[in-house]
Amino acid sequence: RKQKQKRQFAVIGLGRFGGSVCRELHSMGHEVMAIDMNREKVEEYRPFSTHAMQADSTDERSLHSIGIRNFEHVVVAIGDNIQASILTTLVLKDEGVPHVWAKAQNHYHQKVLDKIGADVVVHPEFDMGKRIAHNIVSDKVIDFIDLSDDYSMIELRATSAVDGETLNTLHLRADYGITLIAIKDGQHMNVSPGPDEPIREGNILLVIGHNNDLERFEEKVL
Ligand code: ATP
Ligand code: ATP
Ligand code: CA
């Protein structure tokens, strides 16, 4: 496979969330610039970043002088100071950063970030809370991704109720209107299961569909 060109990332705000994004990018071998106005934070993240810099991100001259527009993705992880988060996002879009990811503290903040052009707005406490709630309700759901208000993709653990069943015998499309896109068996991933591919208890099923239909499938079949 062709070697991907090294991409440049920056994280502004090294709290728990931004710090975690920064460490993870760095540990995956990417170039990541860590920025915080607090000198202690900058020192803390020096070993977990390519460059660590003390700067106030609401000061457009300092972001301009480090050439922030050359970064493909910039994460704004300032939570408590909503004004600073909004100003920073504005400066980044003004400078022409192609992908600005911003962390929202509440729904009002989320709306403003969307309006002023943040490319992706995340709300980790809210999103993780939702995810945990789904996991609590169903011990078969391993993970889920919201695709829209009504549609999701979920990972389910196959129980003995579907052991030996196939796409043919389950009638997922006809009876449930959902699509099985992959069957995971340990490390082996079958991404286009044939109609007669048997499902085994313990397999992980990756299913996509309307939330109501997914719920019906979970309740009746698993
Ligand atoms: P956590 O992820 O821990 O919940 P948080 O989202 O609540 O964090 P804050 O603690 O408010 O976010 O801020 C995260 C970091 O952002 C702090 O280390 C703070 O110093 C830094 N920060 C805040 N304002 C600015 C700014 N204008 N420029 C640079 N860094 C800033
Ligand atoms: P967030 O998810 O918003 O980041 P947090 O993890 O920072 O929240 P806190 O704000 O400290 O958590 O507390 C969450 C809630 O727990 C608050 O509404 C608080 O009133 C409540 N709480 C804290 N201590 C207790 C307690 N001993 N008994 C009952 N409720 C409590
Ligand atoms: Ca916080």
The string over 40-70, giving b where at least 16 C-beta atoms fall within 10 Å of a residue's C-beta and e elsewhere, is ebbebbeebbbebbebebbebebbeeeebee
Atom 7 in ligand 1: which residue has the minimum CA distance? 79
Atom of ligand 1 nearest to the CA of 80: 11
Give the environment of ion ligand 3: residues with CB less than 5 A: 79
State how far the Cα of 91 lies from the Cα of 69, in Å rounded to an integer.
10
Distance (Å, whole) CA 14 – CA 19: 4
Atom 23 of ligand 1, residue of closest alpha carbon: 78
- Along the chain (222 residues), what's the average pLDDT of each consecutive run of 10 residues? 71 98 96 98 98 97 95 96 97 97 96 96 91 79 87 91 91 92 92 91 94 87 68
- The C-alpha atoms of residue 181 and residue 210 are separated, in whole angstroms, by 14
CATH 3.40.50.2300 is held by the domain 8-122: no
Domain 127-221 classification at class level = alpha beta
Question: Could you report how far apart the first and last alpha carbons of the chain are, in Å?
Answer: 39
Side-chain half-sphere of 52: how many Cα atoms within 13 Å? 21
Q: What is the pLDDT of residue 5?
A: 61
Closest C-alpha to ligand 1, atom 6 = 79
Any idea where the domains of the chain sit in the sequence?
8-122, 127-221
Residue list, ligand 1 pocket, CB within 6 Å? 12-18, 35-38, 41, 56-58, 77-81, 84, 103
- Give the span between the Cα atoms of 100 and 89, in whole angstroms: 7
**Chain centre distance of CA 10:** 17
For residue 138, give the nearest of 118, 159, 163 by alpha carbon.
159
Shortest-distance atom of ligand 1 to CA 79: 6
Q: For a ligand 1 pocket test, name from 20, 33, 35, 37 the mutation site with the most ligand atoms within 8 angstroms of its C-beta.
A: 37
**Nearest ligand by distance to the CA of 18:** 1
What's the pTM?
0.78
